[in-house]
Structure 1
Amino acid sequence: MSGLKLAIWDVDGTLVDSRETIHNVMVETFHLSGLTPPEYDATRRIVGLSLHEACGQLAPDANADDIEKLVADYRNTWVRARSQPGFSQPLYDGALETLEALRQEGWLIAMATGKTRRGIASLFELHQLEHFFDTIWCADDGPGKPNPYMVEQAMGALGAAPHESLMIGDAIHDISMGRAAGVYTHGVTWGFGAAHELEEVGANEVHHDFSSLRDSLLAFEAKPNA
């Protein structure tokens, strides 16, 4: 099949502003283990990794049992956070309009996220986005970022080739995953990653607002070896 266009999206920090929530949950998680919680700058650098790898990086002296406790506490703390009155993870301005524009232009749309299926279900309860996604790949499905697995699976599920596909994400792990899968990569700076960090890991483009990103996506033409 030819002539396809596939946009593969990260979620946290790209479509949804979860910066404050993720950091607060991580701080509470570390408090539960009596550990010094990470600063925000440390937390933002692990977003997108598997929970085990993320906790291992944030607590390098922790043993395997300690890491398992951190992972379990993080998940449970997230559940409690989501159940609180007024819990909110807003979409970034322009996110919904960009998804709608891609759909109107006949794009295929995929998700590649470090969230669990449970986390994705919670997202869809907050924001009615499920109908946009033709395939969804997450932390429960296999190797996490920056392994190319989720991008490769998304392309395989929809019959798209690397030159027909784009990865959009805010973290270095998103860009590294896309590069490893051989797709064109768009970094965005309104989430967890800084522009220079995204550039350093090889983002093909870096965008500072959804207007710029949307214009670039809609101008994309699938070409071999793009």
Structure 2
Amino acid sequence: MNRPLAVFDIDGTLVDSRASIFRAATEAARDLGLAEPAYDRVRQIVGLSLPKALHVLEPALTDAELADFVAAFQRSFQRMHAEQVVEPVYAGAMDTLRRLKRDGWRLALATGQNRRGVTRNLARAGWADLFVSSHCAEDGPGKPDPAMLFAAMAASGADAASTTMIGDTSHDISMALGAGAHPLGVAWGFHTRDEQLAAGARHVADDFTDLEAALDRFASQSRIPQDVR
């Protein structure tokens, strides 16, 4: 049976990390004596690997300065973890993931986080049992390169026709298109609906109920057996 594969981004899709990522970028800039970035600039870089993201944010930095910026960003997150700052899972996310798993979907993660961040998320209650595999920027080329999505398909034995990528940024959409997978966006994360549609999203869901309906349509249109939707 050609069971569908749903690959989920984490930040801005399953987990509301808007405040923590903006705080880390702001504190890191302050540590290096850089101008504190506006949120609108920070949200554009989310999803990329951290060095690439911070290079986009501050393109004039030397390699050594960029390495310092990356280290300062990571230190900010370490402070937040020491303070036991917990980034909340979006309401409805776990219900959707459990329903898909129960109905036979294969689930995977593809994120711009490093492996340490992925490990922390997989330690959340119930997460480890949901996902067949997880893929991050440290595994190879980060988004929008399709490498992570190809790896998720290989780990699940899925093909592009039965795979959909769900994310909140144009980087997720571009990765999906590069892999030949079905690109779905969500409206509650970092990039706007218009930015995701312009990148090629087939649909941008308003909430998890809307997302489930879009996934059902994908399963049906992909001729995936109707008892696995």
TM-score range with shorter-chain normalisation? over 0.9
Partner of 1:69: 68
Whether the 8 Å contact between 2:146 and 2:175 is mirrored in structure 1 is yes
Gaps of 5+ in 1: none
Cα deviation, residue 125, structure 1: 3.5
What pairs up with 1:212-223 in 2 under 5 angstroms? 212-219=210-217, 220-221=219-220, 222-223=222-223
* CA spacing shift, 1:89–1:127, aligned 2, 3 Å: farther
8 Å CA contact 2:118, 2:134 repeated in 1: no
Are the equivalent residues in 1 in contact too, given 2:17–2:87 (CA < 8 A)? yes
2:86 pairs with one of 72, 85, 88:
88
2:121 aligned with 1:123, yes or no?
yes
* Counterpart AA for 2:65: D
Displacement of 1:134 in angstroms is 0.2
User: Aligned pairs, how many?
Assistant: 222
The within-5 A match list for 1:1-226 is 2-85=1-84, 87-219=85-217, 220-221=219-220, 222-223=222-223
Provide Cα deviations, 1:187-207, integer angstroms capped at 9, x if missing partner: 001000100000000001111
Instruction: Find the residue that maps to 2:40 and give its secondary structure.
Output: helix
Which residue identity lines up with residue 93 of structure 1 in the other structure? A
Deviations 1:80-137 (A, max 9, x none): 111104x121111110000011001100001000111111122234443121000110
**Percentage of pairs with the same residue:** 39
Instruction: Evaluate the alpha carbon distance shift between residue 124 and residue 147 of structure 1 in structure 2; reply closer, same or farther with a 3 A threshold.
Output: same
Secondary structure class of the residue paired with 1:77 = helix
State the shift of 1:140 in Å: 1.4
SS at match of 1:137: strand
TM-score (norm 2): 0.93
TM normalised by structure 1 equals: 0.95
Kindly indicate whether the alpha-carbon contact (under 8 Å) linking 1:145 and 1:173 is maintained by their aligned counterparts in 2. Answer: yes
Structure 1: 4+ residue segments shifted above 4 A: none
Structure 2 stretches lacking a partner, 5+ long: 225-229
Deviation at 1:182, TM superposition (A): 0.5
**Superposition deviation, residue 218 in structure 1:** 2.9
Distance in 1 (CA, whole Å) between partners of 2:63 and 2:125 is 36
**Preserved contact between residue 102 and residue 218 of structure 1 (Cα < 8 Å):** no
Q: Which amino acid aligns with 1:84?
A: E
**Amino acid in the other structure paired with 1:68:** A
Q: C-alpha distance in 1, partners of 2:140/2:115? A: 12
State the Cα RMSD in Å.
1.3
